[in-house]
């Protein structure tokens, strides 16, 4: 499968007292959700720059874009195979998404609906300062036109 990476973000999910960290890799086909080994407070303190995205196509230099695209397909396929908990959400399966910025702990709440519009199937908190919200929203509108 041919993948092109459009954005990479650190995100987390919360279930009760448990925080699970993931890397969300936005490609031309879908969102790859990769479980990260580090979790809990250790991960929070290791985030660089208080929530800078790892990669956003629209903000990247030409050199960075070329570097990321050279490794895109192999990196995404290897990521999917690396852990049985890693998975891909195809854009064609998504009905609608909601993105809401929060301040305090800086994050963007991303809710993904695939079937019912009452309850999101997936809910991620993308660790990102407020200044990147426009970039995240633009990325979502690019890959999911009419679904944001």
Report the pLDDT value the prediction gives residue 135, as an integer from 0 to 100.
Answer: 85
Report the pLDDT value the prediction gives residue 15, as an integer from 0 to 100.
Answer: 79
Residue spans of beta strands (DSSP E) within 16-147: 18-27, 30-35, 55-56, 87-90, 96-102, 107-113, 122-127
Q: Which domains does the chain have, with CATH numbers?
A: 5-143 (2.30.29.30)
Q: What confidence tier does 93 reach under pLDDT thresholds 50, 70, 90?
A: very high
Q: What is the mean pLDDT of residues 52-81?
A: 71
Range in 31-35, 42-46, 120-124, 127-131 the model is least confident about: 42-46
Q: What is the mean pLDDT of residues 81-106?
A: 86
Q: What is the mean pLDDT of residues 116-128?
A: 82
Q: Is it the case that residue 21 has pLDDT exceeding 50?
A: yes
The DSSP annotation for the chain comes to ----EEEEEEEEEEETTEEEEEEEEEESSEEEEEE-S--HHHHHHH-GGGT--SEEGGGS-HHHHHHHHHHHHHHHHHHHHH-TT-EEEEGGG--EEEEEEETTTTEEEEEEESS-SSS-SEEEEEE--GGGHHHHHHHHHHHSTT--
Stated pTM of the model? 0.81
């Amino acid at each position: 499968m041919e993948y092109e990476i459009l954005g990479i973000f650190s995100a987390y999910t919360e279930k009760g007292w448990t925080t699970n960290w993931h890397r969300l890799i936005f490609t031309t086909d879908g969102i790859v959700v990769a479980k990260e080994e580090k979790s809990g407070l250790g991960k929070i303190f290791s985030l660089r720059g208080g929530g800078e995205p790892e990669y956003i196509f629209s903000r990247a230099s030409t050199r960075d874009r070329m570097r990321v695209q050279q490794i895109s397909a192999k990196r995404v396929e290897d990521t999917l195979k690396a852990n049985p908990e890693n998975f891909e959400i195809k854009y064609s399966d998504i009905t609608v998404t909601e993105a809401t910025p929060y301040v305090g702990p800086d994050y963007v709440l991303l809710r993904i609906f695939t079937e019912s519009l009452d309850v999101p199937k997936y809910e991620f908190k993308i660790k990102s300062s407020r200044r990147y919200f426009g970039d995240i929203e633009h990325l979502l509108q690019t890959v999911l036109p009419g679904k944001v």
